[in-house]
Structure 1
Amino acid sequence: MTTEAFGTRLRRAMDERGPLCVGIDPHASLLADWGLTDDIAGLERFTHTVVEALADRVAVLKPQSAFFERFGSRGIAVLERAVADAREAGALVLMDAKRGDIGSTMAAYAATYLDPASPLFSDAVTVSPYLGYESLRPALDLARESGTGVFVLALTSNPEGAEVQHAARVDGRSVAATVLDHLRAENSDAAPMGSYGAVVGATLGRSIDATGANLAINGPLLAPGIGAQGATAADLPKVFGANVRNVVPNVSRGVLRHGPDVAALRESADRFASEIRDAVAS
């Protein structure tokens, strides 16, 4: 078992290494850009290179499970190795799986990523609350027990998300605001930062205001959209305001496009981390 809460470990990693999460997204076009084949050999080379380049310097690495699952059991084996190697090198691993279900199925998803006995044991996992927030209870409870974390989809950067996340409940509150309220309650007794985070797009600007969402959840805010999606480090204080210190900006293509050169990957990640640190401190 991990004896220290994920939120505590994440706060320390962000303070020491800079507040940056880099995705590991081996989609076919990126493999081709690296001069790799779209097969297990290419997947393994890509993943190993990213972990070798970044796991000893970034706070968080975020493998996207789907890009490994598409290769079947051999792809999952590559993912298992990447998770273990990244954690051994000091990076926290956030598994981007976006799981969401009910009952025993949700419990099985939770065990896959948050049980220390699992070969895919990660420091945290992304989950979807749109079968009802309490459907996530198996993952929330196991995270508390095992010292891991969850990041719940709240205000995502894709435009289609608004039709659900901005929708008003019968009490007039938006769905996204309700999800954030639940997370605030989960983190109420945590210090220095809770282990229950939200996914909030860095590209959303002040459109967040229209949802009535309060981002002060005493937990981490995973912010996709920096780099290729158009957001910059300078946008973070504008979007997140007083909560910016708890933001974990995610950059994927903005860093990965510099591979397969290890030095170039490191230089790009270091540059993003420096820009983000300066923006947060300003």
Structure 2
Amino acid sequence: MTSLQPFGTRLRRAMDERGPLCVGIDPHAALLEAWGLDDDIAGLERFSRTVVEALAGRVAVLKPQSAFFERFGSRGIAVLERTVAEARAAGALVLMDAKRGDIGSTMAAYAATYLDPASPLFSDAVTVSPYLGYGSLRPALDLARESGTGVFVLALTSNPEGAEVQHAVRADGASVAATMLGHLRAENEGEASMGLMGSYGAVVGATLSDSLAAAQADLAINGPLLAPGIGAQGATAADLPKVFGAAVRDVVPNVSRGVLRHGPDAAALRASAERFADEVREAVAGAA
């Protein structure tokens, strides 16, 4: 297998050159309607192509939400394949938001779907769920290292329901979320020893400042922190230093509706993404 330069290295370069921002590609029915598009394959393709053409050459990361393509069956998956390929060809890193989680050969198959360069859905990174046990993710973690791709593990998500699992305390006194962050820190040790960003990241909501106030040290995993919640969910770039503390430089804020609501005008999409990226740069610089 021919591997890429490690994902963490590529991500750091993209964040430095293009700004630390991830924009979702979330073609749900309401957003297609807001764009004046039909909720069908033609609307899906028009929406996705517009986002890619407007943003793939400018933002660090694009994050297609697989479910919004899967709902159209095989034709939707074909659109997703083209979206991923065109976004990567234009220079964006593609994070597939699939949140897969299973065991054994099934997890290995999920990993191959998104992280094997021979796959039609090959992406630069994928989101995964660790709640069948962190060890169940090993096929994806190993393939990511082999292929130069990345993995983002759900740790402290922004949805309120997540707390019943993620904030649960183990017998050793550590929360489930802190345990996941500790595992990721260990995965990234090699890169950290060389002063590089690791390729194993965590999903940590930007809206969780109160619950994270006493746990900021746990966020220093030496890898990227994907932070949903900026924009429509209420968090702002100015909140990032308070939530992430010393790890704020490794944060990749995710904005979806806050940017996508400006479509289908490509110039408006670009302007919105650039505004969010500038706000994040300013917040990170101010925290340095």
TM-score normalised to structure 2 length: 0.97
1:180, 1:213 within 8 Å by CA — same for their partners in 2? no
1:212 shift after superposition: 7.9
Secondary structure of 1:101's counterpart equals coil
Which residue of 245, 252, 259 maps to 1:255? 259
Once residues 75 and 247 of structure 2 are traced to their aligned partners in structure 1, the CA distance between those partners, rounded to angstroms, is 41
1:62 and 2:63 are equivalent in the alignment:
yes
Once residues 201 and 278 of structure 2 are traced to their aligned partners in structure 1, the CA distance between those partners, rounded to angstroms, is 23
Aligned to 2:273: 269
Unaligned runs of 5+ in 1: none
> 1:27-176 residue pairs with structure 2 within 5 A?
27-176=28-177
1:173, 1:212 within 8 Å by CA — same for their partners in 2? no
Aligned residues: 282
Amino acid at match of 1:80: E
Secondary structure of 1:214's counterpart equals helix
Aligned to 2:233: 229
1:211 shift after superposition: 6.1
Once residues 171 and 28 of structure 2 are traced to their aligned partners in structure 1, the CA distance between those partners, rounded to angstroms, is 41
Amino acid at match of 1:127: V
1:245 and 2:249 are equivalent in the alignment:
yes
1:208 shift after superposition: 1.6
Once residues 167 and 58 of structure 2 are traced to their aligned partners in structure 1, the CA distance between those partners, rounded to angstroms, is 36
Once residues 165 and 138 of structure 1 are traced to their aligned partners in structure 2, the CA distance between those partners, rounded to angstroms, is 22
Once residues 30 and 196 of structure 2 are traced to their aligned partners in structure 1, the CA distance between those partners, rounded to angstroms, is 40
Structure 1 runs (4+) greater than 2 angstroms displaced: 209-213
Aligned to 1:10: 11
Once residues 122 and 175 of structure 2 are traced to their aligned partners in structure 1, the CA distance between those partners, rounded to angstroms, is 33
1:213 shift after superposition: 6.6
Secondary structure of 2:190's counterpart equals coil
Secondary structure of 2:218's counterpart equals coil
Once residues 212 and 198 of structure 1 are traced to their aligned partners in structure 2, the CA distance between those partners, rounded to angstroms, is 13
Once residues 56 and 143 of structure 1 are traced to their aligned partners in structure 2, the CA distance between those partners, rounded to angstroms, is 24
Deviation track 1:158-192 (CA, whole Å, cap 9, x = no partner) reads 00000000000111110000000000000001041
Deviation track 1:203-258 (CA, whole Å, cap 9, x = no partner) reads 00131245687000000000000000000000000100110000000000000000
Once residues 72 and 97 of structure 1 are traced to their aligned partners in structure 2, the CA distance between those partners, rounded to angstroms, is 15
Between stretches 187-196 and 137-146, larger displacement belongs to 187-196
Secondary structure of 1:197's counterpart equals strand
Unaligned runs of 5+ in 2: none
1:2 shift after superposition: 3.1
1:176, 1:211 within 8 Å by CA — same for their partners in 2? no
Amino acid at match of 2:266: V
2:96, 2:114 within 8 Å by CA — same for their partners in 1? yes
1:174, 1:212 within 8 Å by CA — same for their partners in 2? no
Aligned to 1:192: 196
1:154, 1:165 within 8 Å by CA — same for their partners in 2? yes
1:174, 1:211 within 8 Å by CA — same for their partners in 2? no
Once residues 223 and 183 of structure 1 are traced to their aligned partners in structure 2, the CA distance between those partners, rounded to angstroms, is 16
2:4, 2:149 within 8 Å by CA — same for their partners in 1? no
1:3 shift after superposition: 3.0
| Cα distance change, pair 173–85 in 1 and its aligned pair in 2 (3 A) | same
Report sequence identity in percent. 85
Once residues 192 and 86 of structure 1 are traced to their aligned partners in structure 2, the CA distance between those partners, rounded to angstroms, is 25
Secondary structure of 1:61's counterpart equals strand
Deviation track 1:13-63 (CA, whole Å, cap 9, x = no partner) reads 000000000000000000000000000000000000000000000000000
Amino acid at match of 1:139: A
Once residues 273 and 208 of structure 1 are traced to their aligned partners in structure 2, the CA distance between those partners, rounded to angstroms, is 23
| Root mean square deviation of aligned Cα | 1.0
Once residues 157 and 172 of structure 1 are traced to their aligned partners in structure 2, the CA distance between those partners, rounded to angstroms, is 23
Amino acid at match of 2:21: L
1:21 and 2:44 are equivalent in the alignment:
no
Once residues 7 and 173 of structure 1 are traced to their aligned partners in structure 2, the CA distance between those partners, rounded to angstroms, is 27
